[in-house]
Structure 1
């Protein structure tokens, strides 16, 4: 069950003691949620992990779909006997079979290679045939911004968040922290913001480097 944007915004407003959205309207909170989604994704790409069918182009070198940010795995062929695809080291394959890239295309893939220095590319062995090939792809997807609410109340928000349900609490905490850091009138806000961010980092198991701009609210 996908977590709704309205739920996230309502919980952020609850943390801010502003359920009516008088000081932190849903239209503003949505911006904090979107920033938080992007920041969480940047340090934990797995929070938007997805498994889908991928149709390779002919040849060995492949490119991630535009909606994907990080390759996680190429688990298996998607058709036929659905043979497992294993990850191998390109240097070892180059050493044992230097001309493997020029091999005739096949409809069943045995191995894949991925170099973190070229994150949006990966290679298949044997090279993929022009037609009849499909593989399972596990990749992290870029988070999609939540739809902009139409009013101050969380109920005016529609749609769902991009992160998987288990990360909803971390998203609420990060979004709350970002909202607090835009309102420095309260002396406790910086301390509370740090507390919420620390709780989120504990849930995520990483340290966040916020891209949220810190500026007083108008």
Structure 2
């Protein structure tokens, strides 16, 4: 899906197919903001899996373009090319109780566990700590910040399934830009409500059909 697909649909809904009322630049700004808002609310909408190199010590950071860590999956060897052992998620407090020196005492050239805190979404800790010599790579899943949409032919960062909430956000921003009109203000509120509702419904459906372990099933 490209930006033009959203612009065409939005133009029809606001009776502005010639883009006189709002220019291409306006619409592209709305699309860019909409993608970023969706990525904030649904990090999985812009998720990627990549192999990254870890730095010495226990504290690690996802790539600069990342919004938040989703998972640390497995070791990828000293070259980043060899799939290795899985990495499990644990509470940082558990590691603190188990080994109070785990932040400062490096281990072998592989990771056994990682700890993550929602309050610092771009950072995580690995156990054991990474030594100063050698290279350690792991495979991670993280949410990426959607890039600025600078052309109508640009491919959108989100999957096609997010076309409806993205369209609703774009329409909300279009009407919200007409600050002197009470009618436009009311329409903006409607589209914003639909935007939130569509994302919430998708979250509920995803939770209902997501593969679960027997212990996680309700």
Instruction: Tell whether the structures are fold-level matches, with TM greater than 0.5.
Output: yes
Contact 1:38-1:143 at 8 Å conserved across structures: yes
Equivalent in the alignment of 2:20: 22
Other-structure match for 2:206: none
Q: 1:95 aligns with which of 82, 97, 105?
A: 97
Counterpart check, 1:171 vs 2:173: no
In structure 1, distance between residues paired with 2:172 and 2:91:
42
Equivalent position to 2:157, from 158, 162, 183: 162
Report SS of the residue matched to 1:195. helix
Count, aligned residues: 196
- Map Cα deviations across residues 66-107 of structure 1 (whole Å, 9 max, x no partner): 111111110111344521111111111111111122333422
In the TM superposition, what are the counterparts of 1:72-83 in structure 2 within 5 Å? Answer: 72-79=70-77, 80=82, 82-83=84-85
The answer to which structure, 1 or 2, has the higher relative contact order (CA under 8 A, 6+ apart) is: 1
Partner of 2:74, secondary structure, is coil
1:43 to 18, 41, 44: 41
- Give CA-to-partner distance per residue, 1:128-164, whole Å, 9 cap, x none: 24434211111111121101x4xxxxxxx22112223
In 2, are the aligned partners of 1:85 and 1:110 still within 8 Å (CA)? Answer: yes
1:213 matched residue in structure 2: none
Quick one: structure 1 residues 182 and 108, their matched pair in 2 at CA, closer, same or farther if it must change by over 3 Å? same
Question: Please, which runs of 5 or more residues in structure 2 have no aligned partner?
Answer: 202-218
1:138 maps to what in 2? 141
**Counterpart Cα distance in 2 of 1:110 and 1:67:** 26
Structure 1 runs not aligned, ≥5 long: 150-156, 207-218
- Quote the residue 1:120 is aligned against: 122
- Per the normalisation by structure 2, the TM-score is 0.81
Evaluate the alpha carbon distance shift between residue 123 and residue 185 of structure 1 in structure 2; reply closer, same or farther with a 3 A threshold: closer
- Find the aligned partners of 2:137 and 2:160 in 1 and give their Cα distance: 29
Superposed displacement of residue 190, structure 1 = 2.7
From 106, 111, 129, the counterpart of 1:104: 106
TM-score scaled by length of structure 1: 0.81
Q: Is the 8 A contact 1:58 1:105 kept in 2?
A: no
